[in-house]
Amino acid sequence: MSTPSHAHEVTPVGIDERTARIDHAIEHAGHYLPAQGPIEVFVHHNTLHAFQHLPFHDALEAARQKIGGRGYLTQSVYRRHYQRGRIRDADVDAVLADVPPPPLHRPDGYPDATELARLVMIHGIEATTQSDLHFRVGELGASTTFAQGVDDAARTRILDSTREFIESRSAQEPADLRALFGLDVGSELARIVGRNAHRANPLEAFHAHPEAFSVHALYRAALHRCEGRTRPSEPYIHRIRFPRDLMFRVFEEDTNDLVHPVLIPLCGAFLDRGQSRWSMPDREQGMYVAWSRFETAGKAVRAHWLASLGSRLRSYRALGLDAHQVVLKAVDELGITDDELEDFIAHELMLLPGWAGMFHRLETAPGPIGRSIAKARLVDYLAVRLTLDVLALADLAERHGLPRSVGQLRDTLRPRLRERSQRPVDGELAWPLFLLCQHAGIGAAQLRALDEEELAGLLDWMSAFDQRQRLIRWQEAYERHYAGEFFDAIALAVQDRREVERPELQMVTCMDDRCESVRRHVEEQSERYQTFGAAGFFGLAIAFQGVDDPSTFPLCPVVVNPQHRIVERVKEEHRDRAERRTTWMRRWGKLDSAFRRASSSMIWAPVVTTATGFAAALPLLGSVFAPRTMADVRKRARSTLIPDLETDITTEREMRDRDEGEELYDGFELDEQASRVGGLLENIGLVKTFAPVVAIIGHDSSSSNNPHVAAYSCGACGGRSGGPNARLFARMVNRPEVRERLRTRGIDIPDDTWFVGGVNDTAADAYHFYDLDAVPVERRADLAHFFDVLEKARMKNAHERCRRFFSAPRDPDVITALHHVEERTHSLGQARPELGHATNASAIVGRRSVSRGVFLDRRTFLISYDPTIDPEGLILERILLAVGPVGAGINLEYYFSTVDNEKWGAGTKLPHNVTGLFGVMNGASSDLRTGLPKQMIEIHEAVRLHLLCETTPEVLTKIVGRQPIVAELVLNEWLRVASVDPEDGRIHVFDAKNGFRPYVPTPRVVPVVAHSEDQYRGHVEFVPPAMITANRPVRVEGES
Amino acid sequence: MSTLEWVARIAVPTVVAAPALAGFAVAVLVARGAARTEESERTIANVVHVGISISMLASLAALGCVVANGFGAYDLRYGHWFQADRYGFELMFYETFSSAAVSALVSLLLLATSRFSQDYLHREAGYNRFFLLMAAFGAGIQLIVLGGTLELLFAGWEIVGLTSVLLVGFFHERAGPVNAAVRVLVTYRLTDVGLLVATVLLHLNLHTTAFVALRDPTLLHHAPHAILVLVGAGALLSAMGKSAQFPLGGWLPRAMEGPTASSAVFYGSLSVHAGVYLLIRLEPLIATSFVLRAAVVTIGLVTAFMAATSSQVSADAKTALAYATTSQVGLMFVEVGVGLPHVAVVHLVAHALLRYYQFLRTPSTLQDALARRKALGRTEADEVAAEWEGAGVELRRFLYRLGVERFAVEETLERWIGRPVERLARFTDKIERTLLGLLDRYSAEGRR
């Protein structure tokens, strides 16, 4: 259906053009809105995707200006990291060498720009406000004692130079000298030195209190040298140009306080995907029409500011205005000119970015769960919003005695904006200069001796090396430290690497950083266990329909459109059970809906609540006090009523062509199967030696009471389980026909190798395997052995995970640890069922021998790739094309949600309120919260992804040249790329300015331990990479 | 005195005192400047767990006494807490079967909340504050339930009100929660006047506010009817405010700004039922007047209808549940009004349990809906759309508007009371300034 378009005949010339302008403005502004869709599907993506065409640091600045929000941690956080040793001097020095501070003509006896920059950064030297300055000087004695952190050498230099200065000037009039140093009556210094200080000889005063004297002299000198200098006030007034902002500035009253409580519930109700019982009438015609229809139905009492809403909407309707024209009308009413239109619309949409973003997303790219009946369009949202804005402005205007016609509002209000006065310079210039001189060991004499030009140069340099410049360098230093530890460990590992010969078992998991540890725990058990990592959909883009699912759902990266439908079916012999199961499920579903309905109905609720209320105490107490037991009881009850089934999935394409208009094929043809399987095996380099058992394991995550559950699941499967993909893969590769075809491709899978598909619950550390009845008898023993190995590994994995949960038992045994992680998934009050991708920081694309035996602390995506079978880098190109955007998307979403959790993230989970089955708000009426909640990122380190590829710089350069998507990420440094040479293991690190440069390992010693546990035991916080010697029969240098 | 009575004499004050002491201990720990660490979190939670557990054991013991006493009430007196001249205010508890049952319910839910919150609020900046407020709230609500006189109930009432407000504004670094808290505060303060007036009137006219005395028909019979109606009206006003009844329910959706745990315990289960409980306590008094009963029934019915309608159109989990809750609370008003206080108690306890559980599970709304969709084999979630869309479109639009706008109750109040009061205030303010100005000039001239 479409909106009525009968207005077109009477449209005056120009309206069409202006309508197009609105559409253009909306389209333009839409790029900057959050791109998150309904949270049923959670896809990690770069929060600042709209700025990805810019270099990283420029993009953060552009985003700050356009949207607001911080792009870095705060300086105090970086400094805390510096104090704790997370950022070291060497890191800061290295960054300042690579990214030099602005140039400075160095005055004699002053440190150079690099040293000054170092001082400014590590001591947090910053401008301050006038009142803070007064407080520091007046109450904290900042002008008479050395600032914290001034080192001894600097102190001595200042004291000595001050003394020399007084001695050399002793010929001068004592009174002048006294004045010079601030020994006048009642001054700070005079108070300290003594009552008669203002009459004393300055040299005596100095000897009485050398520190107070010297520091105060410096302070006076700084004030003196900055006297008469002004800084222009920030040009902020031209930015306040739209009526709402003007109103807010002048009267400190916000029209949003009136508009949002009306608008937000309306948006929620309109977009609702089935949460409320009564849906909004007419929502298939767009929000403006629906709203206008019900607002004009029947008589109404309205708030004072909305008194004329009814008549306004009726008259719009009589005129036959559609949403575009309503927007135009409001724009005209507000006196917005055509050339302001684009900015104005962007400004309006940014007032509630979450809601506007959801409209935009559902309008342009609704994603896998599709559109609902509601016709979501951003122009409708604007029409409603602007209609309300106009009324709210008129009301506020009236209340403040201004004319109600909002068109003149801007002219009336603008003159009332008071220009901020010129900012005083003491806090802005003299204070940082004073601090900098202290840390640099520059005394009053030297500062006074500086000639005017040099001083101006120094002050200019200080304002050029502003907050942004410092933050850029802090961030780089923060990342460099991690990169150093990471590359050092890898450099050590590749020095002496050995491939696994005749593996006993092989395991392929998702590349996910969370799988790093379980792979390590499997490998630590024997040198003949081998693991691989691949994107968790295993190269099978499918639309999957589980046995209980009412429809298919794509299990593949969101950018891919699946062409193959895979359906899970009940096995023939289970038909009866299946029927019973369906019956009970339907019954349960009906009962549940009926209960839900009744418990909110006026008539039925008393009966229902009285009847069930007392019974509710059981699940209530159970799930709060004994979540694991409760979950167990529930599961048992469920499996008695709703029996588990044995199922099959479609594999084979039924021999018929795709029907006209049908989007999906059923299953895969034999050749397709062989090519998919072969493709993946080649990608991961599993083409020569096969173990008797090869496990393919996708992953999923379970948790209760958690609206963000999809964000923990497999990102390569569109935020769902990768189990079906693994199952399908195993079934395909086990087929003799497929293996036959693979042999022609050079992949010879022996007949005694069996693949088994499974799924891993990353939260509970549980595993489930499919189609075990099909395992040949000869392989059963091998499989049982594999399960034993996995059982040990999952317990150790749970144990390792527990170290990062602050609320987990300290140093538990493995069983306690496993029970603890299981309990977390069932507990109603648990806001952190698992930590997701938090702490992710790096990715390795290469053979496992690059990283085998390195403790990477679950921070690294591991993608298997064999450069020896890919001299041209074609496979690598394919991998990077998928892994680059996915890895960067995950990493950057975590990055931005961490650096500014309120702006880019969703804030704390505690007040979150599920709305319309598509998002969460804080409480009953707030903007939709997008990004990651605080509980998901609180232990994350905001560092960009360090992508290390086992290849040569030349191959990487070629790939970047060929693939614009990869190039954008790499050249703009959204990803930090490095290469490790397949032959000699040398590492090259890339940056946009210098290209590839050889990595020089730092003199740091990489820890060498027997087992993972030895490295992490007793640590809650990050531990650096280490070499694990257990079952890595490789001589490691540095071992003692 | 029998053993049973001795047990009751000790148990009942313990129910109130234990959470209060726990709260005090938390306050001391916090005041001694312990920063929030993993260990301090555990200590604080344990202190509150212990306090509430003791309270629960005591409350179960008291319940046992009442049952063993053949469901007879205990009138427990501990002397006067304030005495002047010949008049005194008694410290007494009045434990009937219903108050014992409600008290047990309260301690059960408090215990669940404190366990739930230990995980839920883990690493939150306001962790200590939350537990402090939770313990204080526990003491307050138990005082409402068990207090034997209206002024003791009033004390508990105020503690509950204050802790509610502070928990609504829990995230005080954002403007939304603070504005919402102010809104709740204003409603509570205005309506609490009713309870205060009722207390004073009873003291002036009946010289007692003990609930046990109010059960004595002769006492009520001799009192002036008009006074009783006024007392009842005052109490009703307070009950309406606390239980978010028409037309004072506007604060309820705004109160959802706090953590889920406090939303559950306050607006799902305990605080919101306090109004009903007050009416149950005063039921003998209300029963004396047809006007009062009619008022209680009418308010309850109107609320039940409006809130149920609002609940149907609410697209967010907490608001929908909060309105569904007030709708039932409205029906409890009706039950009290028609003289069925015991029905109301049963309804209250069952309802509080159920809503509490539902509130705690609001974050699961999406998963529940997906599971339901699966079970029913539906692709679309709009399960009732068809049913509702059967109605005529004009009617639907009209009903929908009423629901979305919450029947414009707030708007009406704002237009016909809020604005006129504001205008009046501005007017009197102007007069005052003018007069002060005159006075200033006059006195200045005088000095000269």
Structure tokens at A574: 């289970």
Which residues make beta-bridge pairs with A714? A720
Q: DSSP 3-state helix, strand, coil percentages of chain B (rounded to 5)?
A: 80, 5, 15
**B112/A624 CB distance under 8 A:** yes
Residues A910/A829, Cβ–Cβ less than 8 Å: no
Residues B311/B178, Cβ–Cβ less than 8 Å: no
* Closest CB from B259, B366, B403 relative to A39: B366
| Residue A442 CB partners (closer than 8 Å, separation 6+) | A109, A110, A157, A158, A161, A218, A436
Residue A704: other Cβ atoms inside 10 A: 20
Nearest residue in A to B301, CA atom: A602
**Residue B367 φ then ψ, to 5°:** -65, -40
Q: Is A87 exposed, middle or buried (0-12, 13-18, 19+ CB in 10 A)?
A: buried
DSSP of B131-177: HHHHHHHHHHHHHHHHBSBHHHHHHHHHHHHHHHHHHHT-STTSHHH
Contacts A–B by Cβ distance under 8 A: 304
Q: Which residues of B touch A39 (CB under 8 A)?
A: 366
The secondary structure of residue A928, as a DSSP letter, is: B
Residue A408: its pLDDT value, please? 85
Closest Cα in chain B, distance from residue A554 (Å): 15
Closest Cα in chain B, distance from residue A335 (Å): 29
| Residue A611 CB partners (closer than 8 Å, separation 6+) | B350
Q: Which residues of A touch B171 (CB under 8 A)?
A: 908, 910-911, 922
Residues A861/A842, Cβ–Cβ less than 8 Å: yes
**Closest-CA residue to B315 (of B269, B369, B391):** B369
- For the full predicted model, state whether its pTM sits above 0.90: yes
Residue A10: its pLDDT value, please? 43
Please identify every stretch of chain A with a pLDDT value under 70, giving residue numbers as ranges. Answer: 1-14, 170-172, 174-175, 185-186, 193-200, 231-238, 418-425, 654-663, 1032-1040
* Closest CB from A600, A616, A705 relative to B364: A705
pLDDT along chain B (448 residues), means of 10: 87 95 92 75 91 96 93 89 86 93 94 92 89 95 94 95 93 89 93 95 90 87 89 95 91 87 84 95 92 96 94 91 94 95 94 93 91 81 57 84 88 86 90 91 74
The secondary structure of residue A946, as a DSSP letter, is: E
Count, residues in chain A: 1040
Q: Which residues of A touch B327 (CB under 8 A)?
A: 600, 602, 605
**Closest-CA residue to A494 (of A1006, A1022, A1016):** A1006
Q: Which residue has the tokens 């790096």?
A: A842
Q: Where are the alpha helices (DSSP H) in A748-871?
A: 780-802, 814-826
Q: Which residues of A touch B355 (CB under 8 A)?
A: 609
Residues A897/A911, Cβ–Cβ less than 8 Å: no
Query: How would you label A158-170 residue by residue, b for 16+ Cβ within 10 Å and e otherwise?
Result: bbebbbebbeebe
Residue A158: its pLDDT value, please? 93
Residue A203: its pLDDT value, please? 79
| Residue B246 CB partners (closer than 8 Å, separation 6+) | B240, B299, B302, B303, B306, B330, B409
Query: How would you label A6-23 residue by residue, b for 16+ Cβ within 10 Å and e otherwise?
Result: eeeeeeeeeeeebbebbe
Closest Cα in chain A, distance from residue B320 (Å): 8
DSSP of B201-226: HHHHHHS--BHHHHT-HHHHHHS-HH
Structure tokens at A241: 């140009």
3-state DSSP call for residue A104?
A: coil
CA torsion angle B304 B308 B311 B312 (round to 10): -170
Q: Where are the alpha helices (DSSP H) in B259-392?
A: 260-263, 274-281, 283-287, 290-313, 317-337, 341-360, 365-376, 385-389
Structure tokens at A839: 């702490």
Q: What is the ipTM of this complex?
A: 0.91
Structure tokens at A641: 């009523």
Q: Which residues of B touch A301 (CB under 8 A)?
A: 408, 411-412, 415
- Strand stretches in A740-884, DSSP E: 754-761, 766-769, 842-846, 854-855, 860-864
Q: A interface mutation test: which of B257, B309, B333, B354 has the most A CBs within 10 A?
A: B354
Closest Cα in chain B, distance from residue A101 (Å): 36
Q: Which helix (H) or strand (E) holds A1002?
A: none
Closest Cα in chain B, distance from residue A529 (Å): 38
Q: To 5 degrees, how large is the angle CA A774–CA A775–CA A780? A: 150
Residue A232: its pLDDT value, please? 58
**B316/A268 CB distance under 8 A:** yes
Q: How far apart are CA A949 and CA A954, in angstroms?
A: 12
The secondary structure of residue B273, as a DSSP letter, is: G
Which residues make beta-bridge pairs with A423? A231
Q: Which residues of A touch B419 (CB under 8 A)?
A: 304
Q: Which residues of A touch B254 (CB under 8 A)?
A: 923-925
Q: Which residues of A touch B367 (CB under 8 A)?
A: 704, 706-707, 709
| Residue A861 CB partners (closer than 8 Å, separation 6+) | A511, A512, A513, A516, A533, A840, A842, A843, A844, A883, A887, A945
Q: Is B406 exposed, middle or buried (0-12, 13-18, 19+ CB in 10 A)?
A: buried
Q: B interface mutation test: which of A358, A545, A600 has the most B CBs within 10 A?
A: A600
Q: Which residues of B touch A610 (CB under 8 A)?
A: 346-347, 350-351
Q: Output the CA–CA distances (angstroms, integers) from residue A99 to A73, A329, A470, A1001, in the order listed.
A: 19, 52, 11, 20
**B318/A832 CB distance under 8 A:** no
Closest Cα in chain B, distance from residue A306 (Å): 10
Residue type, A979: S
| Residue A1008 CB partners (closer than 8 Å, separation 6+) | A1026, A1027, A1029, A1036, A1038, A1039, A1040
| Residue A922 CB partners (closer than 8 Å, separation 6+) | A907, A911, A912, A913, A929, B171, B174, B176, B177, B257
Closest Cα in chain A, distance from residue B219 (Å): 35
Task: Characterize the bridge pairing of strands A919-922 and A912-915.
Answer: antiparallel
Which residues make beta-bridge pairs with A605? none
Residue A76: other Cβ atoms inside 10 A: 9
Q: How far apart are CA A704 and CA A619, in angstroms?
A: 14
Q: How far apart are CA A869 and CA A375, in angstroms?
A: 51
* Closest CB from B260, B379, B389 relative to A910: B260
Query: Strand order in A860-864's β-sheet?
Result: A860-864, A842-846, A945-950, A975-980, A987-991, A995-998
The secondary structure of residue A479, as a DSSP letter, is: H
Residue B385: its pLDDT value, please? 53
Q: Which residues of B touch A613 (CB under 8 A)?
A: 349-354
Query: How would you label B328-355 residue by residue, b for 16+ Cβ within 10 Å and e otherwise?
Result: bbbbbbbbbbeeebebbbbbbbbbbbbb
Q: Is A235 exposed, middle or buried (0-12, 13-18, 19+ CB in 10 A)?
A: exposed
Q: Which helix (H) or strand (E) holds A148?
A: none
* Closest CB from B254, B383, B412 relative to A593: B383
**A613/B352 CB distance under 8 A:** yes
**Closest-CA residue to B159 (of B133, B186, B131):** B133
| Residue B391 CB partners (closer than 8 Å, separation 6+) | B399
